[in-house]
């Protein structure tokens, strides 16, 4: 199951002294893509939290291939790797406006009960969407 974001533009604040996007911002881009995709599927992350389910990132990795620069546009494709169980595993590919891959990454999110702060089962709404 894949989703590609609308076009995003690099903001000046996201760049570093070398004039390209600081590596830490790619995790924010991954989150942006993940949340945009959930909204596209009709799943509200804020409603999940209100229902008592948290989804913290428990693992993240990124491979930086080419830099993005201020005011450059790009898109992120997010893919769910496995059906949801105790975790959700996503892959990301960031491409610039010339469709050149600039970064690849993965995140793993766990399901956590807001009340007990202990692992919990995948919410029914996610199981229905991803099965």
16 tagged catalytic: yes
- Confirm if 70 and 15 have CB atoms less than 8 A apart: yes
As a whole number of Å, the CA-based R_g of the chain is: 16
- Which residue of the set 16, 49, 63, 82 is catalytic? 16
Residue 104 CB neighbours (<10 A):
16
User: Mapping DSSP to helix (H, G, I), strand (E, B) and coil, where does residue 128 land?
Assistant: helix
What is the distance between the alpha carbons of residues 89 and 81, in angstroms, rounded to a whole number? 6
Catalytic amino acids?
Answer: 16
């Amino acid at each position: 199951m894949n989703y590609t974001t609308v076009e995003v533009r690099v903001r000046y604040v996201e760049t570093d002294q070398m004039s390209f996007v600081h590596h830490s911002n790619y995790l924010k881009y991954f989150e942006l893509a993940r949340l945009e995709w959930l909204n596209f599927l009709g799943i509200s992350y804020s409603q999940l939290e209100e229902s008592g389910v948290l989804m913290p990132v428990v693992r993240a990795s990124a491979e930086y291939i080419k830099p993005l620069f201020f005011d450059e546009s790009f898109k992120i494709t997010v893919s769910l790797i496995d059906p949801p169980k105790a975790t959700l595993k996503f892959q990301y590919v960031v491409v610039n406006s010339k469709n050149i891959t600039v970064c690849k990454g993965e995140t793993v999110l766990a399901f956590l009960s807001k009340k007990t702060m202990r692992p919990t089962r995948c919410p029914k709404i996610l199981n229905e969407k991803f099965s």
